[in-house]
Amino acid sequence: MIDLKYLQNNFEESSLKLQKKRVNLSTLETLKTLFLALKEANSSFETAKAEQNTLSKTFGEYKKEGKETTELKTKVDSNKETIALLQERAREAEIALESVALSIPNFPDDDVFVGEDETQNVELRKVLEPKVFDFAPKEHWELSEISGWIDFERGVKLAKSRFSILKGAGSRLERALVNFFLDTNTKKGFEEYSVPFVNNGAMLQGTGQLPKFADDLFKIEEENLYLIPTAEVPLTNIYHDEILLEKDLPQLMTAYTPCFRKEAGSAGRDTRGIIRQHQFSKVEMVAIAHPQKSDEVFEMMVQNASDILTALELPHRVVALCTGDLGFSAAKTIDLEVWLPGQNQYREISSISNTRDFQARRAKIRFKDGKKNSFVHTLNGSSLAVGRTIVAIMENHQNEDGSINIPAVLKPYM
């Protein structure tokens, strides 16, 4: 959630920022109007309520002293009706405001390049040169036909399309990667967590998936729970509605979880292979940071993910997303794109974002900031998406006969 008071007081500036994220000016004007309406409604409700409280006290005193209360009672009764009306109005104003406010994305940072879409993202650097093959490198699904690591058909049989099965060395590779990622993150100071793979709606609202992106979530209807689309949701919300001590910041967390996404709107994209599945494994980093330290933590997270790719001998590039490609909650995002020789292109394998206080405000995560309480900054990033790492290893480390070389760092894990 953006800071509505800030929006009210700095409307011009705020709307310019949010227009970079393609929010209509009219939506923002509505938002501001609703915000002011809520304040007004609350104010009159509270005034009436204060009056009622005074009357009630007087009533008690009259009773105690044995005074006549009939006249007072009529006054109180009529005021009561007014209050009920004002309360209803305030409640409606709040609902009206929320329905708009919760769907407004975060402000982009000022230093984020202003662009329309992913074509205008900014490449910051390349790490490792793509290997030159003396044969035509295959795509991972072709390689799978030789190694048998991935069973696409039977995965679909078990569930539906966009589900698959890993087996044998393919499955072991997944497990090895998970362990390698977690160990590496732990060495960087992240604490390992094992979290619920289903979360309730309040948590998903906290990190920004709800209410706007309900279509992309698997929901367990009768339980009112959702399969997590990323470990960012449970990890960030560990401190939902809590106030941390300044000395406990930053909290660096990491977890392996499967991730579940409906991929609504991606019909027809990446239909072959395991690049885009309804279920995939991922190791996630989440940081709860002091507002003045979040940039530092952000850089560390980007570097960590990049180092992991380098350790796996995977060529990649570091890309700063432009405003038009930024996610809903993000103020700033850097993607790591790994080279896929079979596809002959770079593909996203990690995305690291600083959401500033956007999620913190939604999830009410604060810290003791001297005398007052302030919102923390929350950050999240993949380290890494396991399925896509498998793809990258297969394609980058393939031999002409279709066999795959396992990177040296993974040998102890296999």
SS3 200: strand
Least Å distance between CB 79 and RNA? 8
- 17's CB contacts (< 8 A; 6+ apart) are 107, 108
Which residue among 29, 61, 71, 299 contacts RNA (CB under 7 A)? 61
Task: Restricting to residues 334-373, name those near RNA by CB under 7 A.
Answer: 366, 372-373
- 386's CB contacts (< 8 A; 6+ apart) are 174, 177, 178, 181, 280, 281, 282, 283
Which residue among 11, 32, 37, 55 contacts RNA (CB under 7 A)? 55
Least Å distance between CB 155 and RNA? 24
SS3 339: strand
Q: What is the distance between the alpha carbons of residues 327 and 136, in angstroms, rounded to a whole number?
A: 36
Which residue among 27, 44, 52, 103 contacts RNA (CB under 7 A)? 52
In the stretch 28-47, what mask flags binding to RNA with x, by CB under 7 A? Answer: -----------x--xx--xx
In the stretch 262-301, what mask flags binding to RNA with x, by CB under 7 A? Answer: ----------------------------------------
How many other CB atoms sit within 10 Å of the CB of residue 323? 22
Both tokens of 162, joined, read 């966009």
Which of these ranges, 52-60, 161-169, 190-198, 310-318, lies near RNA under the rule CB under 7 A?
52-60
Residue 42 or 82: the one with the smaller Cβ distance to RNA is 42
Q: What is the distance between the alpha carbons of residues 255 and 181, in angstroms, rounded to a whole number?
A: 9
Which residue among 6, 13, 25, 57 contacts RNA (CB under 7 A)? 57
Both tokens of 207, joined, read 């990190």
30, with CB counted inside 10 A (0-12, 13-18, 19+), is: middle
Least Å distance between CB 41 and RNA? 11
Q: Under the criterion CB under 7 A, does residue 88 sit at the interface with RNA?
A: no
Q: Under the criterion CB under 7 A, does residue 64 sit at the interface with RNA?
A: yes
Q: What is the distance between the alpha carbons of residues 255 and 286, in angstroms, rounded to a whole number?
A: 9
Residue 2 or 338: the one with the smaller Cβ distance to RNA is 2
CA angle at 8 for the pair 4 and 9, rounded to the nearest 5°? 120
Q: Under the criterion CB under 7 A, does residue 165 sit at the interface with RNA?
A: no
Task: Restricting to residues 310-329, name those near RNA by CB under 7 A.
Answer: none
44, with CB counted inside 10 A (0-12, 13-18, 19+), is: middle
Which of these ranges, 73-81, 116-124, 149-157, 247-255, lies near RNA under the rule CB under 7 A?
73-81
Cβ atoms of residues 345 and 400 within 8 Å: no
SS3 149: coil
Size of the site for RNA (CB under 7 A): 27
Least Å distance between CB 50 and RNA? 3
Which residue among 30, 32, 59, 219 contacts RNA (CB under 7 A)? 59
Cβ atoms of residues 320 and 113 within 8 Å: yes
Q: Which residues are catalytic?
A: 261, 276, 348, 351, 388
Residue (of 1, 3, 4, 2) closest to 32 by Cα position: 4
Peptide bond into 250 cis (omega under 30): yes
Q: Under the criterion CB under 7 A, does residue 222 sit at the interface with RNA?
A: no
Least Å distance between CB 364 and RNA? 7
Least Å distance between CB 175 and RNA? 20
Q: What is the distance between the alpha carbons of residues 36 and 42, in angstroms, rounded to a whole number?
A: 10
Cα 66 off chain centre by: 62
Q: What is the distance between the alpha carbons of residues 177 and 394, in angstroms, rounded to a whole number?
A: 13
Q: Under the criterion CB under 7 A, does residue 53 sit at the interface with RNA?
A: yes
Least Å distance between CB 58 and RNA? 8
Binding site for RNA (CB under 7 A): 5, 39, 42-43, 46-47, 49-50, 52-57, 59-61, 63-64, 73, 76-77, 80, 243, 366, 372-373
